[in-house]
Structure 1
Amino acid sequence: MLRHLCLVIFLLFAYATNAQVPTTEIDTVGVDQDSLSKTRFIKQLGNGYFPTQFLDIDLRYLVKFNQYEGFRTGLGGVTNDAFSAKYRINSYVVYGFRDHRFKYRIGGGFRVNAPTNTWINLSYTDDLQETGSSDFITDKRFFSFFEPRLLNINLFHKYITKAVSVEHSISYHLLSETELAISKIDPTYDYLYRLDGIDYKNWHVSTAKIALQWSPYSTYEVKANDAIVEKEDGYPKFTLQLTKSFKDVVKGDFNFFKTDFRAIHKFKYNEQSFTEATLTTNIAFGDAPLSHLYHAYPNNVNKPTIIKRFSVAGINSFETMFFNEFFSDRLATLQLKHYVKPFDIGKRFKPQLVLISRFALGNMNNIARHQNIDFNTLDRGFSEAGLEINKLLFGFGLSFAYRYGAYHLPTFEDNLALKFTFNISL
């Protein structure tokens, strides 16, 4: 199966990058078309794709690094409307040089209704996921040219997932996705989940998910191919996801229920100064192993001095919270970021100050079920505050954060985080 996937991706890549469209007549609006083509190219690049004639190459899979795989490199992509407006192929293959293992996804879909942008998707994925992370399936795209947290993550679990999903636009402002999936989970670290006298080293989960994404104040437009495109971001934005795991359904080992919610609001004062607030709540009921619980996206490595902990700050991560320090089955986080108007020092030198406050509150039932791993809960509330000075040089800046409150550490230096930032936009 992997050999066939590699062949398909290679042929698509070769065809997309080498195919040419013959020119038979002079285009009187060539300049305008060229401008539109450049605009589309830059937009796609900013979304993490390198567009070619029939295939948009996914830049997320080119090169990455983490503590388990070492360097991870590969190739992936999704076919575009020039290939077909009704069918798409979305696949990738990567290789980890430290664990010496291929990971891949074979996926595709077909559109059943253009006005509501309704797609039915099928996929088979064999890959890794960070333990404690939680994604919304309606977030089809999150791309950053550089993912700083990934460098220091060491707690992963392998998963093999077969899934079928349905995407549907209930309205321009309300998107939905439903997914049925069966997964085999195998932690890469020494962990056992003890339930009813049985120690599970690996397990199967059979899940049903439904997610809703509501953007009541965004504006949209309909393209010539009936595609619905967001023209302008509007705030607030809301996302709700419900997950149910079924025991004894297609080998499912556990019964649990999860509800995840996120609200994002932006308070604009002028074109260049605003405050962004992000509230998330996550709750898991029932018999959920650590792979399906939550952390608050920590980004501080477990090293003794501030210099050895020097790394790159994340986008929405807790910079003074150590990796694997806290896990929760009930978690709420609030992040406030105030962007000050950039300092107009020079034509190409306009650094920007960002003031940041982050809060997290969580807890966990049945901690004793999680064997061979030590962690704390967030029942007393975690707090940190800091600032960033971005875009000092080639997109790089500096970040400073301080940990205070109930989880303030005895040694002053252990409460500090000093890091680079990296911000670039197209």
Structure 2
Amino acid sequence: MLKHLLVVILMVLVTSSLAQEPPVVKSKNPERVAQDSIKKAEFFKTLGNGYFPIGFFDLDLRYLIKFNQYEGFRTGLGGVTNERFSERYRIEGYGVYGFKDKRYKFSIGGGFRINKTSNTWINLSYTDDLQETGSSSFLTDKRFFTFFEPRLLNIDLFHRHITKSISLEHKISHHLLSETQLTSNKINPTYDYNFVLDDRSFNTFDLSMARVSLQWSPFSNYDLINDRVVETKDGFPKFTLQFTQSFKNVLGSNFNFSKVDFRAIQQFIHKNQDVTKITLVGGLAMGETPLTHLYHAYPNNITKETILQRFSVAGFNSFETMYFNEFFSDRFSTLQLKHFFRPFKVSEWFKPQLVLISRFAVGNMDNIERHQGVTFNTLEKIYSEAGLEINKLLFGFGLSFAYRYGAYYLPNFEDNIAFKFTFNISL
């Protein structure tokens, strides 16, 4: 518990120091004041997107410091060149070191823009890093920044991947983003795992894959500000769809499988300023799919005996009572309901917020016998948990409580309870 608290406090200090307002020279000249105001707004917009601008280079804040169960502390530097370097070309990359696994990881790449109006880029990259087994991300999500990702603290099941990729980013319209990616991957699980297929066992494997991702925000509003298109209204619902295809025998690829991933987010703002948020996620994997590329349903509970030993950081969209590596699926769906009450104005500086939460998950898996060395359950029945959060009690910290009930209720009462702290910060 103390270790997790120290990690978050350290991250708070880093984010607070980086989020300090830059000094602005006072001027009575209205033109100068307007220019300073624009520069200040651009600075905070860049910072809010996860970058700290340094001349022609934007430092990527995601790589400064992180923590997980496999690497321990992970620290390094990364970033991307900005328009001061070139409006047409960019170079990006990062290098990090894990103190527990004692390994360096890195990525190097770049891109060139072929159309400014549609913000169309062609990108190339080479990456040698770790990825959580069973995780599934959308390509378009990398354009949206999360300053702190609580689930990372507790993850311990990773596979190493060496990935060569070429991708095409294209804004079909203001409301529709797209990205297409071709990759060649060498996968090496860091745990004892074998994928058995046609009387052959694989503990490492190669994959050649194509992915197409679309993000549609039909109700957002956009305006032209300073010759740039800026989202002025974050409209809902939002939809994301992604298709993945692995090709056997292409560039030495071992397996042939397909995946379809979908996400819908709806948000209702009530007259009393309460907010209700609904998130629906689904995934389907078909064919010869290894465990590394299946689904885990976003667990966030450590396998330890007592509630206090499991005390850690609650995630934003994770199942707080579901234990890591407890369930895997080749088809699954989750539904999350959150109701945010209007903050209680106790004083000007103390405005805690109550959030009520319900989460549900269902899934299944064919050909379980293919996955050797890892023990897990499936989600044929509906997994249910309910809870609440009291956020922003002190310096962005709050408390979270969740209770597991229904078909997957555990015999020992306290094993169904998750008590954690939350962390929310806004720039």
Give the structure 1 partner of residue 348 of structure 2: 347
- Tell me how far 1:145 sits from its aligned partner: 3.4
More off after superposition, 39-48 vs 133-142: 39-48
Matches within 5 A, 1:50-69: 50-69=52-71
- 1:336-394, CA deviations, whole angstroms, 9 ceiling, x for partnerless residues? 11000111111110100000000000000000000011000011110000000000000
Matches within 5 A, 1:38-77: 38-77=40-79
- Tell me how far 1:50 sits from its aligned partner: 0.8
Give the structure 2 partner of residue 314 of structure 1: 315
Distance change (3 Å), C-alpha of 1:120 and 1:222: farther
2:212 maps to 1:210: yes
Give the structure 2 partner of residue 105 of structure 1: 107
Give the structure 1 partner of residue 200 of structure 2: 198
Contiguous gaps of at least 5 residues in structure 2: 1-27
Q: C-alpha distance in 2, partners of 1:138/1:179? A: 11
2:374 maps to 1:373: yes
Query: Which secondary structure state, in structure 1, belongs to the residue aligned with residue 140 of structure 2?
Result: coil
User: Counterpart amino acid of 1:133?
Assistant: S
Q: Check the 8 A contact 1:272/1:342 in 2, yes or no.
A: no
- Tell me how far 1:129 sits from its aligned partner: 0.2
Report the RMSD for the aligned CA atoms in angstroms. Answer: 1.5
Distance change (3 Å), C-alpha of 1:289 and 1:106: same
- Tell me how far 1:150 sits from its aligned partner: 1.1
Query: Which secondary structure state, in structure 2, belongs to the residue aligned with residue 170 of structure 1?
Result: strand
Match of 2:126 among 118, 124, 127: 124
Query: Which secondary structure state, in structure 2, belongs to the residue aligned with residue 29 of structure 1?
Result: helix
Matches within 5 A, 1:10-409: 29-222=31-224, 224=226, 227-270=228-271, 272-409=273-410
- 1:49-88, CA deviations, whole angstroms, 9 ceiling, x for partnerless residues? 1112211100000011111111111000011111111111
- Tell me how far 1:256 sits from its aligned partner: 0.2
- Tell me how far 1:221 sits from its aligned partner: 2.8
Q: Under a length normalisation based on structure 1, what TM-score does the superposition of the two structures give?
A: 0.92
Distance change (3 Å), C-alpha of 1:76 and 1:39: same
- Tell me how far 1:146 sits from its aligned partner: 2.8
Q: Check the 8 A contact 1:117/1:228 in 2, yes or no.
A: no
Distance change (3 Å), C-alpha of 1:142 and 1:191: farther
Percent identity of equivalent pairs: 66
User: Counterpart amino acid of 1:201?
Assistant: N
Q: C-alpha distance in 2, partners of 1:43/1:240? A: 27
Q: Check the 8 A contact 1:129/1:157 in 2, yes or no.
A: yes
Q: C-alpha distance in 1, partners of 2:384/2:144? A: 26
Q: C-alpha distance in 1, partners of 2:80/2:272? A: 34
- Tell me how far 1:231 sits from its aligned partner: 2.3
- 1:261-302, CA deviations, whole angstroms, 9 ceiling, x for partnerless residues? 000010111474110000001000000000100011100000
Q: C-alpha distance in 2, partners of 1:363/1:279? A: 17
Q: C-alpha distance in 1, partners of 2:177/2:145? A: 20
- Tell me how far 1:224 sits from its aligned partner: 4.8
Give the structure 1 partner of residue 12 of structure 2: none
- Tell me how far 1:413 sits from its aligned partner: 0.5
Give the structure 2 partner of residue 19 of structure 1: none
- Tell me how far 1:220 sits from its aligned partner: 1.6
Q: What is the count of residue pairs matched by the alignment?
A: 401
Distance change (3 Å), C-alpha of 1:222 and 1:117: farther
Q: C-alpha distance in 1, partners of 2:327/2:356? A: 25
- 1:85-124, CA deviations, whole angstroms, 9 ceiling, x for partnerless residues? 1111121111111111111111111110111111101111
User: Counterpart amino acid of 1:275?
Assistant: T
- Tell me how far 1:27 sits from its aligned partner: 7.0
Q: Check the 8 A contact 1:332/1:360 in 2, yes or no.
A: yes
- 1:138-166, CA deviations, whole angstroms, 9 ceiling, x for partnerless residues? 11234333322111111000000000011
- Tell me how far 1:229 sits from its aligned partner: 2.9
Distance change (3 Å), C-alpha of 1:271 and 1:177: farther
Q: Under a length normalisation based on structure 2, what TM-score does the superposition of the two structures give?
A: 0.92
